[in-house]
Amino acid sequence: MRDLHQQKLSMEDFNRLARLVCQTAGINFTVAKHAMVEGRVRKRLKATSIETYKEYLDYVVSAQGGDEAIRLIDCLTTNKTNFFRESQHFDYMIDHLLPRLAEEGVGRHRPLRIWSAGCSSGEEPYTLAMILEEWNQHHAVMDFEIHATDISLSALKKASLAIYTEQDVKPISLALRRKYLLRSLADENVIKIAPRVKKHVSFARLNFQDADYVLPSSFDIIFCRNVLIYFNKDVVERVINRLCVALVAQGSLFLGHSESIHGLNVPLDTVSPTTYQKRLGRTKLRVEAQ
């Protein structure tokens, strides 16, 4: 087999790969990402024992390459996240959303439902679960469910394990760590999410480019943060409209602080920075529910 480190990703193959990734996952790679893409895909060449980028791409688009196409997207997906990232969103939820929803009986008559869309390795949904566990310590108990999805299988695997390092959990306050984290006796750098938090979160793979989202229910709150930055404007508008379909009337959507709905035709009103409420009225698309 040829030395893979001598293999170069030609511009022809890069453009072909970029088109494939855009069609499959909606993610845009510019020429500025050439070196990053080359390095990551080289690992897939080694894993599949394929010698050239062209042969690898031929395999990915073949009838036999479906699983490898998923692994390709996986290796190109950035999974950087943190517990309590962009904490202003959580403050808004605690100060404004949870009191209103509790007053409306959400959490008593039916569970409060939250979707962490683009959950990466699980820090966001577990943050939400800890916040709601804390809420229940000081208010009437709200039953809640958190549905967490991501395109990356490796990220979802880590999220489902709910095992993190000392460095990972630094953003969590000491008080919350004592309540909701478990340290391994065998290795003090292995820290697990406590079952009382973990039980509220379910994980599933979801690709925003799929023809239809099959979701378990409608949601009161959706977090879709630092995901849309990878999409072009048309894809962003389509994705946000579909998120809106998954929201209940006057449900709330949180985007990342570098994301915006400015110039988009979406049924949302801004209520706080990168925080939106669904308008009453007809939405554009239908989402199937199980």
Q: In what order do the strands lie in the sheet with 275-278?
A: 201-205, 144-150, 112-117, 219-224, 247-255, 275-278, 268-272
User: If residue 270 lies in a helix (H) or strand (E), which one and from where to where?
Assistant: strand 268-272
Question: Which residues are known catalytic residues?
Answer: 40, 150
CA dihedral sign, ordered 270, 273, 276, 277: negative
Q: In what order do the strands lie in the sheet with 191-193?
A: 163-164, 191-193, 181-183
Q: Which two tokens stand for residue 7?
A: 């293999």
Distance between CA atoms of 171 and 124, rounded to whole angstroms? 12
Q: Which two tokens stand for residue 186?
A: 């065998």
